[in-house]
Amino acid sequence: MQQLIALLRGIAEGTVGRRAIQVVLATHSADLLEHPRPEEVRFLSREADGSVTIEEAPIGDPDWKRVYDEYQQSMSALWLSGNLGGVPRSAA
């Protein structure tokens, strides 16, 4: 997965290929979240009315570094905690 993310990052940055292109990778894999940088990740959540909310990791928030460090800088652990959005709700 690390090699895949490195390749996609190179394509997005223009170091692979002729020019930079936008790359969108959708996943439900928590393991995959261990490889991109926090600023590269977006979390999508479907609202009750069917709309979709897109959120970035709150890296500009003053508490971000503390919380990120608390989760051992693991985006997957932080995502699975429910604090970043995009986690499927359990059936009630």
User: Is residue 92 domain-resident?
Assistant: no
Overall number of domains in the chain: 1
Name the residue range of residue 52's domain.
2-80
Cβ(55)–Cβ(85) below 8 Å: yes
Written in H, E and C, the secondary structure of 18-60 is CCCCCCCCCCCCCHHHHCCCHHHCEEEEECCCCCEEEEECCCC
Could you read off the pLDDT of 41-82 as tens digits, one per residue?
988 888 899 999 888 888 998 888 899 999 999 999 988 888
| % residues pLDDT > 90 (the chain) | 53
User: Is residue 85 domain-resident?
Assistant: no
Backbone angles phi, psi at 45, to 5 degrees: -130, 135
Say what the pLDDT of residue 81 is.
87
Q: What is the pTM (predicted TM-score) of this model?
A: 0.77
- What's at 83, amino acid-wise? N
Distance in angstroms (rounded) separating the CA atoms of residues 90 and 92: 6
User: Is residue 16 domain-resident?
Assistant: yes
Say what the pLDDT of residue 31 is.
92
User: Is residue 12 domain-resident?
Assistant: yes
